[in-house]
């Protein structure tokens, strides 16, 4: 049984004439676990005078990015923060991967996630992930495919190595041509048998199946001499269709400021403008300052807390959070009606990866109900927002910004 | 997009042979914001010895009436408290308006919300709200329509002025006649063009469309000499169908005690008996005392906290809450199995209107897990009930009253 999706709020409550501004500051992976020596999390151990001062005039809480117990990837976690329940608004894995490597997907593109795989002389799969090759082993193989595969006229293809065995193929039809994306995976999810042939589920996808079959055949010829990487398996094939924008749904003209392409990509997916490509968090803040009057919703992304958490570097993550704290006053100085500071998920240094743990939230507005003078998991646990889902933060921000009408009489 | 329903609990868990009693005391708009001088909310600033004593033997919590960030009107908020998720159980706006003015809607009635509007000589709309007329301007116009419109035999009509430009028209077919209500609005949501003609979406609604067209035509003739109020636009047309009752759904024979017609109306919508029309809260309590043995679920409503909140009168709201506190012992003396004290939404005096802020809840029963000796936002924030949706309070009350069976073996 598929559980019903969780409703958020009826879109028709949105007040489209309001002129208030919302700033969403995401400290990637900010949620943590208590340090065994002193019991404080990374956010609690960090010296964050600016966030603490903000907390004293904010409503605090914790959010589950997707659902309790669910560890989100960055894509779904950000979709939730933008008000798109990732259990409802599905992004094809291929599309998310292409966005993740920073490729500028356009409507009509077909994005396909590929696994590099090992096949034997009879085309039987012996390893569905080609032994999880190191990046410096996988990348040259991908470069060869890029150079040597020829799909003929009417289409261009783009190929990207993600990590280990994971590769993204984007088929872009020429102007006026349409490629369907209703295709079965070629990964049989088993070894000892050959890959499945690309299979179209409708007529519009027959040419796509033919192109993919051609790509796969050529790849196996080109890679025939390789020790482990001898072919590809297609998993997750999707046409790229941007979602109805945040402006359409919430009346918010939105902009994204992020160093890393993935986050700009997810922003674009929901219709955000990307005013530039900052080289540092400070440049991202400067871009935001320059655009402050031009948008209703500003999303600024700081990657370092997550990166240091993934490294297992508690002190490094503390320092990364302190670095964000240092530029918080520049966001406050813009006097947004709502300043929301949170993370997309937890990345405790002691765990060294994304986790499912709830994420601290600070919502600053003149209508806040403050409960603490620090920002951290402990303070947030007894905050006024309570425990919400990531997707609820947009309705809370809209409400605090005077952008939601009353529901019913 | 219509959001999918929120699951609450399977209705078949209800124990229909229990004889326990639940009293729900709604302090309208009780939730507040901290006063800038002393940081306490209205409920926290009020001297409430009786509620505080009750809190010491109760489970506390906060509820979001509809969903995080959603500011509810009184109708949907009360539906939630009665166990009817307002995102699922939609009430036509016309029906809610008619209930709101205290009209005794019957099944088969068609309730239509009208805007008074300004039309020019060519019937083009120049103001969809007739300049939001003052009540003493609008009311005489409505009275003229009431006297002078003639819809002929087979139907009676009832017309009520709500507020400013808002009017409710109820069409009541004679015994044996049916009026469909599948009609498009005549409000084109734009000016410079004439109103739309009433349009039936099915055959059963053709006679209704003809009646509405006749009403609209006559109204324009009758109002032709008026400076601003020169016609009506229909918005929200619905047949009145009471919901399955609380007795059907929850096994609760229910009664409502409320000074204001809106609240009696919403009670009737879910099958509550209305034993009388009290002239004061004290009379409402006396009515409840007289009926204590006759019903399983007693809903008593106190309006003043909301009214003073809407006035922006912090001290007045404090006094209104203290006035409710004074009669709480009379509810306690009835020894209900569950005494639930909460609000339908927040109306902070500092905001001067309904808001989305979570609402304090006190659930008194012998199975409570007390955590505080005061009743207020701060105490409720760390209470045992945690943060729930308004619609969850009925299942909690049923459980504490021994009215829900175990789910599964």
Q: Hey, what domains does chain A have and what are their CATH numbers?
A: 11-89+244-400 (3.40.720.10), 98-239 (no CATH)
Per residue in B159-182, pLDDT tens?
Answer: 999 888 989 999 999 999 999 999
Question: B72–A11: do the CB atoms touch at under 8 Å?
Answer: no
Mean pLDDT of chain A: 93
- Answering whether pTM is above 0.90, one says no
Please state, in angstroms and rounded to a whole number, the distance separating the CA atoms of residues B28 and B347: 8
Mean pLDDT of A11-32: 93
Q: Which residues have CB under 8 Å from B287's CB, separation 6+?
A: B257, B275, B276, B278
Please state, in angstroms and rounded to a whole number, the distance separating the CA atoms of residues B57 and B338: 11
Q: How far is CA B245 from the centre of its chain?
A: 16
Question: B97–A396: do the CB atoms touch at under 8 Å?
Answer: no
Q: Taking CA atoms, what residue in B is nearest to A56?
A: B39
The position carrying tokens 């207020």 is B376
Mean pLDDT of A4-14: 66
Apex CA A93: angle with CA A92 and CA A97, to 5°? 120
Apex CA B200: angle with CA B195 and CA B206, to 5°? 115
A7: nearest CB among B4, B71, B357: B4
Q: Which residues have CB under 8 Å from A278's CB, separation 6+?
A: A257, A258, A259, A284, A286, A287
Q: Are B127 and B111 in contact (CB under 8 A)?
A: no
Largest CA distance in chain A: 72
User: Two tokens at A365?
Assistant: 């507005």
The secondary structure of residue A168, as a DSSP letter, is: E
**DSSP-derived 3-state class of residue A53:** helix
A7: nearest CB among B3, B69, B387: B3
Please state, in angstroms and rounded to a whole number, the distance separating the CA atoms of residues A130 and A298: 42
Q: Which of A68, A344, A383 is nearest to B387 (CA)?
A: A383
Apex CA B161: angle with CA B159 and CA B167, to 5°? 75
Per residue in A202-229, pLDDT tens?
Answer: 999 999 999 999 999 999 999 998 999 9
Per residue in B205-241, pLDDT tens?
Answer: 999 999 999 999 999 999 998 999 999 999 888 888 8
Looking at residue B107, what is its pLDDT?
A: 86
Interface mutation vs chain B, best among A386, A389, A404, most B CBs within 10 Å: A386
B356: nearest CB among A3, A10, A399: A399
Question: B381–A384: do the CB atoms touch at under 8 Å?
Answer: yes
Apex CA A66: angle with CA A63 and CA A72, to 5°? 105
Asked if residue B132 has pLDDT above 60, the reply is yes
Percent of chain B topping pLDDT 70: 98
SS3 content of chain A, % helix, strand, coil (to 5): 30, 20, 45
Q: Which of A205, A204, A271, A191 is nearest to A237 (CA)?
A: A205
The stretches of A244-339 forming alpha helices (DSSP H) are: 246-250, 261-269, 281-291, 304-310, 314-332
Question: Predicted confidence band at B3 (pLDDT cuts at 50, 70, 90)?
Answer: very low
Q: Are A105 and A96 in contact (CB under 8 A)?
A: no
User: Two tokens at A396?
Assistant: 């809370």
CA distance A111 to chain B (A): 27
Interface mutation vs chain A, best among B3, B97, B236, B372, most A CBs within 10 Å: B3
Apex CA B330: angle with CA B324 and CA B334, to 5°? 135
Looking at residue B355, what is its pLDDT?
A: 98
Cα dihedral value B112, B116, B120, B123, nearest 10: 10
CA distance A218 to chain B (A): 45
Please state, in angstroms and rounded to a whole number, the distance separating the CA atoms of residues A281 and A287: 10
Question: B69–A369: do the CB atoms touch at under 8 Å?
Answer: no
Asked if residue A1 has pLDDT above 70, the reply is no
Confirm or reject contact between B357 and chain A (CB < 8 A).
yes
Asked if residue B92 has pLDDT above 80, the reply is no
Q: Taking CA atoms, what residue in A is nearest to B354?
A: A406
Residues of B in contact with A340 (CB under 8 A): none
From chain B residues 359-388, the ones with a CB under 8 A of any chain A CB are: 377-378, 381-382, 386-387
Looking at residue A5, what is its pLDDT?
A: 46
Looking at residue A8, what is its pLDDT?
A: 64
Question: Predicted confidence band at A4 (pLDDT cuts at 50, 70, 90)?
Answer: very low
Question: Predicted confidence band at B4 (pLDDT cuts at 50, 70, 90)?
Answer: very low
ipTM: 0.83
Q: Taking CA atoms, what residue in B is nearest to A6?
A: B6
Rg of chain A, C-alpha, whole Å: 23
Q: Which of B27, B345, B267 is nearest to A408 (CA)?
A: B345
Asked if residue A303 has pLDDT above 80, the reply is yes
Please state, in angstroms and rounded to a whole number, the distance separating the CA atoms of residues B255 and A287: 60
Phi/psi at B73 (nearest 5 deg)? -70, 170
Asked if residue B131 has pLDDT above 80, the reply is yes
Question: A399–B96: do the CB atoms touch at under 8 Å?
Answer: no
Confirm or reject contact between A329 and chain B (CB < 8 A).
no
Confirm or reject contact between B68 and chain A (CB < 8 A).
yes
Question: B70–A404: do the CB atoms touch at under 8 Å?
Answer: yes
Looking at residue B402, what is its pLDDT?
A: 96
Confirm or reject contact between B75 and chain A (CB < 8 A).
yes
Q: Are A321 and A299 in contact (CB under 8 A)?
A: no
In SS3 terms, chain B reads as: CCCCCCCCCCHHHECCCCCCCEEEEEECCEECCCCCCCCCCHHHHCCCHHHHHHHCCEEEEEEECCCCCCCECHHHHHHHHCCCCCCCCCCCHHHHHHHHCCCCCCCCCEEEEEEEEEECCCCCEEECCCCCCCHHHHHHHHHHHHHHCCCCCCEEEEEEEEECCEEEEEEEECCCCCCCCCECCCCCCCCCCCCCCCCECCHHHHHHHHHHHHHHHHHHHHCCCCCCCCEEEEEEEEECCCCCCHHHHHCCCEEEEECCHHHHHHHHHCCCECCCCCCCHHHHHHHHHHHCCCCCEEEEEECHHHHHHHCCCHHHHHHHHHHHHHHHHHHHHCCCCEEEEECCCECCCCCCCCECCCEEEEEECCCCCCCCCCCCHHHHHCCCCEEEECCHHHHHHHHHCCCECCCCC
Residues of A in contact with B73 (CB under 8 A): 406-409
CA distances from B381 to A34, B54, B372 (A): 23, 17, 11
**In DSSP terms, which residues pair with A127 in a beta bridge?**
A118
Percent of chain B topping pLDDT 90: 81
Residues of B in contact with A11 (CB under 8 A): 1
Question: A7–B7: do the CB atoms touch at under 8 Å?
Answer: no
Q: Are B193 and B218 in contact (CB under 8 A)?
A: no
Asked if residue B275 has pLDDT above 50, the reply is yes
Cα dihedral value B319, B324, B329, B335, nearest 10: -160
Question: A392–B69: do the CB atoms touch at under 8 Å?
Answer: yes
Question: Predicted confidence band at A145 (pLDDT cuts at 50, 70, 90)?
Answer: very high
Write out the H or E segment, with its range, that includes residue A163.
strand A155-163
Asked if residue B146 has pLDDT above 50, the reply is yes
Q: Which residues have CB under 8 Å from A235's CB, separation 6+?
A: A93, A113, A114, A115, A185, A186, A187
Mean pLDDT of chain B: 93
Q: Which of A273, A101, A106, A94 is nearest to A186 (CA)?
A: A94
The stretches of A302-402 forming alpha helices (DSSP H) are: 304-310, 314-332, 377-381, 392-400
Please state, in angstroms and rounded to a whole number, the distance separating the CA atoms of residues A94 and A73: 14
Q: How far is CA A38 from the centre of its chain?
A: 32
Asked if residue A2 has pLDDT above 70, the reply is no
Question: B67–A392: do the CB atoms touch at under 8 Å?
Answer: yes
Asked if residue B5 has pLDDT above 90, the reply is no
User: Two tokens at B359?
Assistant: 């609402």
Write out the H or E segment, with its range, that includes residue A59.
strand A58-64
**In DSSP terms, which residues pair with B232 in a beta bridge?**
B116
CA distance B93 to chain A (A): 8
């Amino acid at each position: 049984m598929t559980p019903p999706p969780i409703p958020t709020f009826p879109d028709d409550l949105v007040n489209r004439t309001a002129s208030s501004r919302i700033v969403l500051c995401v400290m990637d992976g900010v949620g943590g676990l208590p340090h065994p020596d002193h019991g404080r999390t990374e956010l609690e151990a960090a010296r964050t005078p600016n966030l603490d001062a903000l907390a004293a005039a904010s409503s605090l809480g914790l959010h589950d990015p997707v659902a309790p117990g669910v560890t989100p990837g960055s894509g779904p976690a950000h979709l939730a923060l933008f008000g798109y329940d990732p259990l409802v608004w599905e992004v094809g894995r291929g599309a998310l991967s292409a966005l993740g490597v920073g490729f500028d997907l356009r409507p009509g593109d077909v994005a396909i996630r590929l696994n590099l795989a090992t096949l034997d002389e009879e085309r039987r799969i012996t390893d569905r992930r080609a032994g999880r090759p190191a990046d410096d082993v996988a990348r040259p193989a991908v470069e060869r495919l890029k150079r040597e595969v020829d799909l003929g006229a009417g289409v261009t293809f783009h190929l990207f190595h993600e990590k280990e065995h994971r590769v993204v193929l984007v088929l872009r039809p020429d102007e006026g041509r349409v490629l369907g994306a209703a295709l079965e995976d070629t990964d049989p999810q088993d070894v000892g048998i050959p890959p499945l042939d690309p299979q179209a589920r409708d007529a519009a996808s027959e040419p796509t199946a033919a192109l993919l079959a051609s790509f796969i055949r050529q790849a196996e010829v080109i890679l025939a001499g390789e020790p482990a990487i001898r072919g590809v398996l297609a998993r997750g094939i999707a046409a790229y269709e941007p979602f109805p924008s945040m402006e359409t749904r919430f009346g918010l003209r939105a902009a994204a400021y992020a160093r890393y392409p993935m986050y700009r990509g997810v922003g674009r997916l929901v219709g955000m403008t990307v005013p530039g490509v900052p080289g540092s968090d400070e440049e991202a803040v400067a871009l935001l300052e320059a655009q402050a009057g031009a948008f209703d919703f500003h999303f600024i992304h700081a990657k370092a807390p997550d990166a240091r958490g993934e490294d297992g570097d508690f002190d490094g993550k503390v320092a990364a959070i302190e670095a964000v704290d240092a530029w918080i006053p520049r966001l406050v100085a813009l006097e947004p009606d709502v300043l929301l500071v949170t993370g997309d998920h937890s990345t405790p240094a002691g765990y060294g990866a994304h986790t499912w743990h709830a994420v601290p939230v600070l919502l600053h507005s003149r209508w806040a109900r403050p409960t603490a003078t620090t920002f951290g998991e402990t303070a947030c646990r007894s905050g006024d927002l309570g425990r919400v889902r990531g997707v609820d933060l947009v309705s809370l921000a809209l409400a605090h910004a005077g952008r939601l009408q009353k529901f019913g009489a």
